[in-house]
């Protein structure tokens, strides 16, 4: 686990918000519910849950729901995201973001600064930097002319 994380009280608040969002997860096909909370640089918290679909591929992860909600409301600078989950067996484990969500984070977040909090529940979490989970990631900077 990386050393860098956000303030402990704030991390706990994010776990609480992500857990609230988990209750709204729409996951009738996998039974795997996910909740996310996203902290903006201004200190606001946006939440998201996974939303599945009978056609499967249109389904959306909790992390992207939170990012898209925030960006659609004018927020584009983020400090951290927190992810919680509840499996079909009602168990909780550390749930790492999928590759597509990591790529979406690359679009808006500094990989050296953005913190990803994987939480099992209150007081039980691990922190990573985006650059640890997405090494050599491709982002907007790669498209700039040198």
Which positions touch ligand THU (CB under 6 A)?
27, 30, 32, 34, 50, 52, 59, 61-63, 83, 95, 97-98
Q: Which of helix, strand or coil describes residue 75?
A: coil
In this structure, are residues 105 and 85 in contact, taking their beta carbons and an 8 Å threshold?
no
User: Residue 47 or residue 50: which is nearer to ligand THU going by CB?
Assistant: 50
Q: How far is the CB of 98 from ligand THU (least distance, A)?
A: 5
Give CA separation, 32 vs 22, 42, 60, 69, 141, in Å: 10, 31, 12, 21, 34
Q: How far is the CB of 126 from ligand THU (least distance, A)?
A: 14
User: Residue 5 or residue 34: which is nearer to ligand THU going by CB?
Assistant: 34
Active-site residue, selected from the candidate residues 12, 63, 112, 131: 63
* Active-site residue flag, 63: yes
Using only C-alpha atoms, what is the Rg of the chain? 15
Give CA separation, 85 vs 10, 34, 95, 96, 97, in Å: 19, 4, 6, 10, 11
Tell me phi and psi for residue 11, to 5 degrees. -60, -45
CA 130 to centroid of chain Cα atoms: 11
User: Residue 54 or residue 143: which is nearer to ligand THU going by CB?
Assistant: 54
Q: How far is the CB of 122 from ligand THU (least distance, A)?
A: 19
Q: How far is the CB of 106 from ligand THU (least distance, A)?
A: 15
User: Residue 63 or residue 111: which is nearer to ligand THU going by CB?
Assistant: 63
Hey, which residues are catalytic here?
A: 63
């Amino acid at each position: 686990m990386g050393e860098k994380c956000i303030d402990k009280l704030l991390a706990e608040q994010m776990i609480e918000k992500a857990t609230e969002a988990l209750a709204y997860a729409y996951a009738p096909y996998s039974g795997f519910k996910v909740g996310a909370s996203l902290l903006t640089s201004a200190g606001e918290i946006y939440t998201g849950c996974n939303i599945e679909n009978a056609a499967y591929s249109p389904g959306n992860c909790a992390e992207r729901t939170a990012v898209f909600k925030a960006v659609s409301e004018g927020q584009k600078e983020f400090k951290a995201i927190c992810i919680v989950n509840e499996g079909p067996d009602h168990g909780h484990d550390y749930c790492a973001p999928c590759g597509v969500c990591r790529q979406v984070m690359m679009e808006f977040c500094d990989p050296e600064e953005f913190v990803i909090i994987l939480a099992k529940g209150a007081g039980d979490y691990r922190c990573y930097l985006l650059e640890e989970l997405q090494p050599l990631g491709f982002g907007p900077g790669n498209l700039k002319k040198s």
